[in-house]
Amino acid sequence: MTKERVVVTGLGPISAVGTGKDEFWEGIVSGRSGVKLVQRIPEKLRPSCKIAAEMYDFDPSKYMDHKAVKRTDRFIQFAIAASKLAVADSKLDLSKEDPERVGVAVGSAAGGFQSIEDQFHVLMDKGPDRCSPFTVPMLIVNMTAGWVSMLHNAKGPNTCTVTACATSAHSIGDAYRIIERGEADIMFAGGSEAPIAALVMAGFASARTLSTRNGEPEKASRPFDKTRDGFVMGEGGAVLMLESLSHAIARGAHIYAEITGFGSTGDAFDIVQPCADGSGAARAMKIALKQSGITPEEVDYINAHGTSTPLGDKAETKAIKTVFGEHATSHKLAISSSKSMTGHLLGAAGAIEAIVCIMAIQDNIIPPTINLNEPDPDCDLNYTPNTAVRNAKVDIAMSNSFGFGGHNCSLIFKRYKG
């Protein structure tokens, strides 16, 4: 059976750096940090980390009616908004499509934590009869895919992957495979996350994974820097419109890039820590390269997982060296971490970062890793410190995403050349 080629035709990012493709990309290229002091959590419940890439001005009523807003958690609202932005960007008229050929692969790592907290307080303070009848639909993770499918009448394959911080990268990979097999013509692919809630922040802070650079929020997320002290939470979502190449050409779509590789592996090592030698991540990258039919030397740019944790950044550096060898150590391979600006969107991170890779290809720009002023000697690759590189050659880009539990995912995007 002939495999369908799969292309990206619509981008819908939502983050503290910017909403919509143009605003988001301008913020990334200019090195704008979205990290600020947390406002959503009451002061008495804020842990040692009091900062996050929080979206102060997100208004769900721009994307859904009042009734739907009341029945959805914030993470679902992000998914809905991102899906509508992606459709608009793709210029798809879904009313003219066969709904059974339109599918959804949109996930979340944590689901509706704010709804869990809110309804728990109702339970304890007012009793079980006062809990909302929408409690369960507000908190369960698969409602990202459920709501997106209902709003867009997408009746094709429908799935919700949950692989911690690799969630939305796996969602893109799954959607890619569905189209490649001929099971759908169009897929919504991505993820969303609303983790700036007291319980989530407290849990991560207790595990000592969050930065406590509270006095300088914009400088707190500093991947690969010697002085990094943990990651910074972020929130938002991202949805990509994927289409079979034949479908995209038939409707005259603008093609941003082609997806050619998807590598997925497990560390089988630890519930939180990555393999110190980066072997699991390295295998995911090698699989993606093999599927793409390209050599390591052909990759121009990697958007690193780059969370700004002491162990994670070192392990990823080792993994990249293992796979790319002299191409990486000679600094020919450009790498950066957009989490230095967006914070870590957990389950939405992979999709946001896939958009960064795609826009890098579109505009031939290498985005920066901001706050990289004192490189860690163990992180000695070309991590594009502080300033974007314009007029670069970016024909092939890789996006890396790694999650708690040892989930590793690498995606490869290529410039579409017919």
Determine which helix (DSSP H) or strand (DSSP E) holds 56, and give its type and residue range. Answer: none
- The active-site residue out of 152, 247, 305, 407 is 305
Does the annotation count 66 as an active-site position? no
Burial 147-185 (b: 16+ CB within 10 A, else e): bbbebbebebbbbbbbbbbbbbbbbbbbbbbbbbeeebb
Q: Which two tokens stand for residue 229?
A: 């002290």
- Picking from 376, 386, 375, the residue whose alpha carbon sits closest to that of residue 341 is 386
Read off φ and ψ for residue 57, nearest 5 degrees: -110, 15
Could you give the 3-state DSSP secondary structure of residue 321?
Answer: helix
Tokens of 353: 């970062």
SS3 87: helix
Q: Residue 212 has which token pair?
A: 């406590």
Active-site hit among 152, 247, 344, 407: 344
The β-bridge relationship of strands 186-193 and 257-266 is: unpaired
Contact 169, 107 (CB under 8 A): no
> Of the residues 165, 357, 379, 409, which is catalytic?
165
User: Between β-strands 236-244 and 6-15, what pairing exists: parallel, antiparallel or unpaired?
Assistant: antiparallel
Question: Is 305 annotated as catalytic?
Answer: yes
Annotation marks residue 344 as catalytic = yes
Q: Are the beta carbons of 72 and 80 closer than 8 angstroms?
A: yes
Query: Could you list the active site residues?
Result: 165, 305, 344
